[in-house]
């Protein structure tokens, strides 16, 4: 087994490339811009120190920003999301605690848990991101609609990827 | 001191979060001119509102004189406008003829980067100040209006696209010359909105919308698109939706327009406002 640090770094590169080269070029009817790279934060192990969580969020956010030429936009949103992750995990804890040796995956905790987990965090991330992008309050409902549709689409992609990639890791 | 250290260790998560957020927000404010401008706007809003109130009342006193002066000057500019011509030379090219006053210069450029799927879209062109492109020049394609140059380097220039929430241009209906303000609502890259057309005007589907030439960035009569939908929505104005004649997703070559008399017009208009 490859060690977890290099595995996560490898996953980060793959997600950045996929986001920049494929997803950034997708636009469905002007509302839906999927941001799937947040999957990286979702999949970090439970034992990740919390400061490392923030640094990872900063790192992947700024990489996406550098490609998309929007310095600071994705960075702030992803750091925000990384900050909220421990609290969301605390609220969503299935039994008393997360057993050691498990990862925040669909495979370990089931579909419903993973759906809730990704939906909450992706929604928070997208809300922060889209409002920072628009930077005004006049388009409130229009932006909200974009947030919701994009969230649904991103979560759909994230869950789809879980079925495709992680099923064989038994 | 020890207590301080303990607090820092205890709350390191929150402290790092705040530090990283401050870093990224300051990156955002320094890097993206748009956000920077919005930030400054908030402070300018308060002082600006007061100035505007005062200005609004004093402007009435000289309104008639200003109107006459502008109408005269507009008539003069319109006469000159007929004599514009285009050249495909690489450099801006002027003809010095004592009989004809040239108003607009053209040069062609290639689009090397652009987006259509954001709320604030920009284009990058492969020519810059080395061929005489300057900020506030208009950019058109053979199919219609594209945007306005916002900044130039030696080799490149960035253009604020028509598909940008901050973009406004004066446009009119070709058949009856009623003009309004054109903007994008951030939804569909093939549609824009035209405001300020009064409701008593007859607007039909398929009417052509062209530039008005009032801003002196674009010559009069460059096509923008056709009316696809119009309805009176509250108030006294139409809510008009326009199908763009340009397909922003397939742009390759565009033309940059420089106005020779823009400076004069701006100076005049500003002196009229005082």
Over residues A118-137, the mean pLDDT reads 87
Task: Pick the range with the lowest mean pLDDT from A109-118, A147-156, B46-55.
Answer: B46-55
Q: How far is A91 from chain B (nearest CA, A)?
A: 18
> What are the distances in angstroms from CA A48 to CA A8, A11, A92, B91, B202?
11, 15, 17, 59, 66
Say if residue B168 is exposed, middle or buried (CB neighbours under 10 Å; 0-12, 13-18, 19+).
Answer: middle
Range(s) of the domain holding residue A27: 4-165
Over the range A67-86, which residues count as b (16 or more CB within 10 Å of their CB) and which as e? eeebbbbbbbbbbbbbbbbe
CATH code where residue A121 lies: 1.10.1760
CB B28 to CB A134 under 8 A? no
Q: Give the whole-angstrom CA distance, residue B154 versus residue B133.
A: 9
pLDDT of residue A128: 92
Is A31 inside any structural domain? yes
Q: Of A50, A57, A73, which is closest to B28 when you measure between CB atoms?
A: A73
Strand partners, B124: B113, B158
Q: H-helix or E-strand containing A77?
A: helix A73-91
Is A126 inside a domain boundary? yes
Q: Is the pLDDT of residue A78 over 90?
A: yes
Q: Cβ of B21 and A80 within 8 Å?
A: yes
A93 — pLDDT class (breaks 50, 70, 90): confident
Which helix or strand (DSSP H or E) is residue B159 part of? strand B157-164
A170 domain residue, yes or no: no
The chain-wide mean pLDDT, for chain B, equals 77
Listed ranges B46-50, B75-79, B186-190; the one with the highest mean pLDDT: B186-190
Helix axis angle for B2-10 and B12-31, nearest 10°, is 70
Residue carrying structure tokens 């759906």? A115
| Minimum Cα–Cα distance from B115: chain A residue | A25
Q: What is the mean pLDDT of residues B157-179?
A: 87
Residue B59 forms contact with A (CB below 8 Å): no
| Better-scored residue on pLDDT, A157 or A102 | A157
Test the A interface: residue of B30, B119, B123 with most A CBs within 10 Å: B119
**With an 8 Å Cβ cutoff, are A79 and B21 in contact?**
yes
Sequence length of chain A is 170
For residue B113, the cross-strand partners are: B124
Residue A69 lies in a domain: yes
b/e per residue B250-260 (b: at least 16 CB within 10 A): ebeebbbbbbb
Q: Which domains does chain B have, with CATH numbers?
A: 2-61 (no CATH), 169-249 (2.40.10.350)
- Dihedral (C-alpha) A127, A132, A133, A135: value to the nearest 10 degrees? 120
Say yes or no: B11 contacts chain A, CB-CB below 8 A. Answer: no
Strand partners, B108: B255
Contact A83 B31 (CB under 8 A): no
Interface touch B24/A135, C-beta < 8 Å? no
Using 50, 70 and 90 to split pLDDT, how confident is the model at B101?
A: low
A80–B31 C-beta distance less than 8 A: no
Q: How many folded domains does chain A comprise?
A: 1
Burial class (CB in 10 A: 0-12, 13-18, 19+), B42: exposed
Kindly report the nearest CA distance between residue B58 and chain A, in angstroms.
30
Chain A residues within an 8 Å CB radius of B249 = none
**What residues of chain B, 92 to 151, have a C-beta less than 8 Å from chain A?**
116-120
For residue A87, how many other CB atoms are within 10 A of its CB? Answer: 9
ipTM reported for the complex, 2 dp: 0.81
d(CA A96, CA B80): 81
Token pair for residue B129? 């100040």
Selecting from B17, B29, B120 the residue whose C-beta is nearest the C-beta of A83 gives B17
A60 lies in some domain? yes
Contact of B156 with B189, CB cutoff 8 Å? no
Minimal CA–CA distance to B163: which of B117, B215, B222, B217? Answer: B117
* Two tokens, residue B178: 């009623």
Q: Which residue of A has its CA nearest to B118?
A: A30
What CA–CA distance (Å, rounded) separates B224 from B246?
Answer: 8
Please give the Cα distance from B212 to B219 (Å, whole number): 8
Q: Is residue A96 included in any domain, yes or no?
A: yes
Residue corresponding to tokens 């004809």 = B100
Separation of alpha carbons A169 and B237, rounded Å: 62
In a domain, A41, yes or no: yes
pLDDT in tens, A45-75: 888 888 899 999 999 998 888 777 677 889 9
Tokens of residue B264, six digits? 């004069």
Q: Which of B248, B6, B262, B2 is nearest to B140 (CA)?
A: B248
More confident residue, A16 or B74: A16
Residue A62 sits at the chain B interface (C-beta within 8 Å): yes
Q: How many C-beta atoms lie closer than 10 Å to residue B110's C-beta?
A: 12
Share of chain A above pLDDT 90, in %: 26
- Check pLDDT > 50 for residue B8: yes
Chain A 91-130, residues with CB within 8 Å of chain B CB atoms? none
Residue A29 has pLDDT above 90, yes or no: no
- Helix residue spans in chain B (DSSP H): 2-10, 12-31, 33-59, 63-81, 262-273
> Could you give phi then psi for residue B11, rounded to 5 degrees?
-105, 25
pLDDT score recorded for residue B89: 44
B52 and chain A in contact, CB less than 8 A = no
């Amino acid at each position: 087994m490859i060690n977890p640090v290099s595995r996560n770094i490898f996953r980060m590169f793959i997600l950045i490339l996929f986001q920049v080269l494929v997803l950034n070029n997708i636009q469905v009817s002007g509302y839906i811009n999927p941001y799937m790279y947040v999957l990286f934060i979702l999949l970090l192990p439970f034992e990740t120190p919390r400061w490392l969580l923030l640094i990872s969020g900063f790192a992947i956010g700024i990489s996406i920003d550098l490609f998309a030429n929007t310095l600071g936009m994705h960075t702030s949103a992803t750091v925000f999301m990384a900050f909220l992750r421990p609290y969301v995990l605390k609220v969503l804890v299935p039994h008393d605690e997360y057993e050691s040796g498990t990862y925040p995956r669909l495979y370990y905790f089931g579909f419903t848990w993973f759906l809730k987990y990704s939906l909450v965090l992706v929604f928070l991330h997208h809300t922060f991101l889209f409002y920072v992008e628009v930077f005004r309050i006049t388009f409130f409902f229009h932006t909200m609609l974009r947030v919701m549709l994009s969230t649904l689409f991103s979560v759909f992609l994230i869950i789809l990827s879980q079925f495709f990639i992680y099923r064989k890791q038994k | 001191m020890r207590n301080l250290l303990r607090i820092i260790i205890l709350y390191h998560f929150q402290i790092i979060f705040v530090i990283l957020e401050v870093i990224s927000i300051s990156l955002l404010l320094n890097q993206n001119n748009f956000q920077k401008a919005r930030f400054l706007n908030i402070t300018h809003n308060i002082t600006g509102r007061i100035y505007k109130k005062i200005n609004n009342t004093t402007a009435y006193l000289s309104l008639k004189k200003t109107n006459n002066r502008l109408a005269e000057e507009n008539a003069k500019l319109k006469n000159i406008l007929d004599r514009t011509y285009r050249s495909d030379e690489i450099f801006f090219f002027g003809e010095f003829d004592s009989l004809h006053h040239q108003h607009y210069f053209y040069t062609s450029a290639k689009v090397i980067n652009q987006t259509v799927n954001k709320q604030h879209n920009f284009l990058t062109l492969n020519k810059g100040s080395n061929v005489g492109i300057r900020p506030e020049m208009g950019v058109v394609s053979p199919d219609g209006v594209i945007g306005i140059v916002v900044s130039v380097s030696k080799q490149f220039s960035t253009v604020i696209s028509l598909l940008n929430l901050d973009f406004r241009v004066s446009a009119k209906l070709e058949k009856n010359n009623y003009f309004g303000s054109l903007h994008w609502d951030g939804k569909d890259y093939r549609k824009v909105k035209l405001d300020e057309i009064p409701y008593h005007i007859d607007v039909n589907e398929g009417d052509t919308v062209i530039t008005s030439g009032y801003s002196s960035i674009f010559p009069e009569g460059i096509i923008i698109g056709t009316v696809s939908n119009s309805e009176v929505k509250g108030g006294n104005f139409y809510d008009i939706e326009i199908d763009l004649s340009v397909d922003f997703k397939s742009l390759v070559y565009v033309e940059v327009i420089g106005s020779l008399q823009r400076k004069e017009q701006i100076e005049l208009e500003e002196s009229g406002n005082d």
